[in-house]
Amino acid sequence: MRIFAIIAAATITIVVTATAQAFCGFYVARADTSLFNKASQVVLVRDDDRTVITMANDFEGEVKDFAVVIPVPTLIEREQINVGDRRIVQHLDAYTAPRLVEYHDADPCMRYERYKMSQDSALPRSVVSEEVRRNGRSLGVTIEASYTVGEYDVLILSADDSGGLIKWLKKNDYKLPRGAERVVDSYLKQDMRFFVAKVNLEEQSKLGYQYLRPLQVAYESNKFMLPIRLGTLNAKGKQELYVYALTRTGRIETTNYRTVKLPSDIEVPEFVQAEFGEFYRDMFSKQVAAENERAVFLEYAWDMNWCDPCAADPLSQQELRKLGVFWIGDGQGENKIASMPAQNVFVTRLHVRYDSEHFPEDLVFQETGDRQNYQGRYVIRHPWKGEATCDVTDYQAEVRERQEREAQQLANLTGWDIEDIRKKIPFPEDTQEPNKGPWWKRLWS
């Protein structure tokens, strides 16, 4: 079983110029969350003090063993909890993922310029027996609310002290990791409550879902943060966390850790197209190490109503509404625009690899007014491979110089051996000499 704090990756459960033009080309590959193991995803919708959080878990195992314990800054009522659609989170992942794009050199012998949060139908009902409540009171634990939401039984707990809360959770089959009491106590001192959920097997059977859908919570608080410390206590190794933030104002960043842009707009050799997954994993790992494993990385920041190049279509207003973007239309009635891209929604994608040693604090965020577009973007430039009708010696020398530069950039980004990289690159002198044809065909070309 995994128990995780806000599901944050800690499941506790590319005449021809040598430089590519920016934000053009054809998208050919993307680095989505599937490249990384133990990857959790959180969508944060934030405006003023209102937050809607969608938690997509990566739980593996029997659903009967699933449980989640989440510190929350305020009392949560039934109407503030929803079960979401994981396909929308997957769409958001695809839209914001770092991408590989490609360009093709033009014929060097040619003369021209390159140019409503949906509510669940289940009625609120108590999921806690009086005996469980009574046992909780004896340990200083108060069950402030209990709900069934979709396939989940949800409790909102408060407690007098961490010891009593830990005892109650263990007594009710929540297997907390060693060291949890100290972390729980720090949340209690911040006057936080605990959102606790288990799978209701009967309800899941009725609904017919074969997987766990994302949980969503809407609340108001001046705290813009993501608790991750509980999730590190029993995590096996480092965890991957993806945070997708949707705001009106612009990009978000962390205030208690460095927010660093990943290297972008870098040309890499052609063979990387077939090895993009390996490239991105190794590149990301090297950047993590370069920041002493203590940084949060920006992978994407863009207005939601367009993209260039698009790794996936922008989310529709209807999809964003289901994620909790409450300031846009609901796509119903007279103003039905559900299939149109959203206006006034800015998305930030952050990627964190963390453990308790290097990330001892929860993530604290702030909204910025920065609406400058950024994307993790890597470029392949294919040399001209057609029949040459002119002397291409200068062009081939330019290509070879470019390919050597790409090899060195790839080695610097990933730590791959430069000689191994060079062996995979078809330098011009290694290719067949193009058929130049009779001399007079080149006389006035």
Q: What is the distance, to the nearest Å, from the Cα of residue 396 to the centroid of all Cα atoms in its chain? A: 40
The mean pLDDT of 321-345, rounded to a whole number, is 67
DSSP-based three-state secondary structure for 198? strand
Average the pLDDT over 77-101 and give the result. 94
pLDDT tens digits, one per residue of 33-74: 888 877 889 999 999 999 999 998 766 667 777 778 888 888
Shortest CA distance to 396 belongs to which of 432, 421, 422, 423? 432
Question: Does residue 215 lie in a domain region?
Answer: yes
Report whether 18 contacts 398 (CB < 8 A): yes
Q: Is pLDDT at 204 greater than 60 in this prediction? A: yes
For residue range 268-305, what is the model confidence (pLDDT) as tens digits?
999 999 999 999 999 999 999 999 999 999 999 999 98
**Cα–Cα distance, 84 to 208 (Å, whole number):** 15
Residue 278 lies in a domain: yes
Residue 415 included in any domain: no
Stronger pLDDT, 53 or 19, i.e. the higher one: 53
Residue 265 φ/ψ region, left for φ over 0, alpha for ψ in the -120 to 50 degree band, beta for the rest: left
Mean pLDDT for the chain overall: 82
Q: What percent of the chain has pLDDT over 70?
A: 82
Q: How many CA atoms lie within 13 A of 341 on its CB side?
A: 16
Single pTM value for the model: 0.83
Q: Of 182 and 61, which is predicted with more confidence? A: 182
pLDDT at position 15 over 80: no
Q: Give the per-residue pLDDT at 440.
A: 63
* pLDDT value at residue 60: 64
Residue at 214 is within a domain: yes
pLDDT tens, residue by residue, 128-147: 677 777 778 888 999 999 98
Residue 124 is encoded by which pair of tokens? 């609120």
pLDDT at 157 over 70: yes
Band the pLDDT of 323: cuts 50, 70, 90. very high
> What are the pLDDT digits (tens) for 229-283?
887 776 678 889 999 999 999 999 999 999 999 999 999 999 999 999 999 999 9
* Distance, C-alpha 384 to centroid of its chain: 36
CA distance to 84, 120, 228, 319, per residue, from 324 (Å) = 10, 15, 22, 9
What is the mean pLDDT of the segment spanning 157-170?
89
Classify residue 147: in a domain, yes or no.
yes
Angstrom distance (rounded) from CA 40 to CA 36 = 10
Whether residue 97 lies inside any domain: the answer is: yes
Region of 24 on the Ramachandran plot (φ > 0 left; ψ -120 to 50 alpha; else beta): beta
3-state secondary structure of 301: strand
Number of domains in the chain: 1
Q: Determine whether 83 is exposed, middle or buried from the number of CB atoms within 10 Å of its CB (0-12, 13-18, 19+).
A: buried
Parent domain of 96: 26-382
- Please say whether the dihedral angle defined by the alpha carbons of residues 408, 412, 413 and 419, taken in this order, is positive or negative: positive
Q: How confident is the model at residue 429 (pLDDT cuts 50, 70, 90)?
A: low
- Domain assignment present for residue 83? The answer is yes
Question: Do the domain assignments include residue 444?
Answer: no
- Residues paired with residue 266 on neighbouring β-strands, in sequence order: 378
